[in-house]
Amino acid sequence: MIWLSVMVLVAFLAISVLGTRRASMIFAGTRLVCICGATLFVANLFVALTAIFGGIALAMGVDKFPSAWLVGTPFRSYLIPGLILAVVVGGSAAFATITTLRRAATGALASMLAGAILLGWLVGERVILPAAAFPTQFSWLEAVYIAAGLLMVVPALMARRTAL
């Protein structure tokens, strides 16, 4: 599992370096709008890579979670939740990443939608899974993804309001 994390991190860093400049050029205008564009690109890319690879790992059983956590949910295995994570959460973030590099208005709108999907996924986990799935009230990983979701929504709103 560590090798997968390292690969995702390397891909994230490489693509971030290459795409951040282009995203800030696409979101041309004030300095704030350029920063919003770069922020959207990086947040979308982070969520796309981690959700796609994490969803695949979940669906294939690489990440081992207790099957008891699924009791009382609509799922019998982690296959469908993994596919939803990879395709819906990761796919929407990947689409937002690409559109952020093509057109500012479309990229901002796609980022807002992908951020809302991510935040909805996080809320859905808390609602569907039993309390045993969350050993602490709030984990650092949840904080990272809530921050990522907000970094997909708030700068998009600012960019659309300011310049687009």
Look at residue 13 in the predicted model and tell me its pLDDT.
75
pTM of the predicted model as reported, rounded to 2 decimal places: 0.86
Q: CA 38, CA 72: separation in Å to the nearest integer?
A: 41
Question: What's at 15, amino acid-wise?
Answer: I
Task: For the chain, give every domain's residue range.
Answer: 16-62+78-162
Q: CA 121, CA 10: separation in Å to the nearest integer?
A: 25
List pLDDT tens digits, range 75-98.
999 999 999 999 999 999 999 999
Residue 53 clears pLDDT 70, i.e. is over it: yes
The dihedral sign for the CA sequence 127, 136, 92, 86: negative
